[in-house]
Copies of this chain bind each other. A is one copy, B any other.
């Protein structure tokens, strides 16, 4: 009997677990004893938040780095019939973290474990819903290049996609580069393209603003310069 691989979403920031996690996701995190995690310290704090009385030292936690060792551990547990939880540092495992490698492992014919994705907060999904842009056709690009010339070229390419197909283009930026990205958006994106910026999605301090690139004022932009997790969306308002 092969174990099951459960994909357990983490919180996205300061939030009550019951605000963003279904009771089933919470219960599985509370009862599983074996985890593959992005950062052990972060995962332990999450599990402690869900079960303040639990002895975290009794839980088997393996960091996903180095990957070969973590994959061997995950495979050994699943083959021994042990259910395994995958926890990333924020949001849904497999979205922008090493979690997908363990899912791919579970799908190999040598293991063929059941994979169960659990519901939880995803900044990409929450931002897409809250943008008012096309949610039927969209693309997520992760991080754009950090060097200004390449970043601006990437922004122009995304803007052309919006203008030619109407599909929503989504990306993230490391918080300390928010000010630079806000400036680049002002300088590069077509005036008629709409820009949605969403900060602290699914957590305390959630702030979402969507309007035409030409309608963004310096005051609007200054609200988002703060060092907080930020999602950027380019698109066309629907309806």
Chain A residues engaging chain B, CB cutoff 8 angstroms: 7, 16, 18-24, 67, 71, 92-107, 109, 114-117, 119-122, 124-142, 167, 201-202, 206, 208-211, 215, 237-239
Contact = CB atoms under 8 A, between A and B. Distances in A.
A144 B137 CA distance: 11
A163 to B, nearest CB: 17
25 contacts: A18-B23, A19-B23, A20-B119, A23-B23, A94-B128, A94-B130, A100-B132, A104-B132, A104-B238, A104-B239, A107-B132, A107-B209, A107-B210, A115-B208, A116-B130, A117-B126, A117-B129, A117-B130, A117-B202, A117-B208, A119-B121, A119-B126, A124-B125, A137-B141, A138-B140
Contacts of A106: 132
In the assembly, how many copies of this chain are there?
Answer: 2
B142 A136 contact: yes
Contacts of A117: 125-127, 129-130, 201-202, 208
Interface of A is mostly: mixed
B20 A21 contact: no
B67 A7 contact: no
A134 B94 CA distance: 8
Contacts of A19: 22-24, 119
B136 A139 contact: no
Contacts of A121: 119
Closest 3 CB pairs of A and B: A101-B239, A104-B132, A103-B132
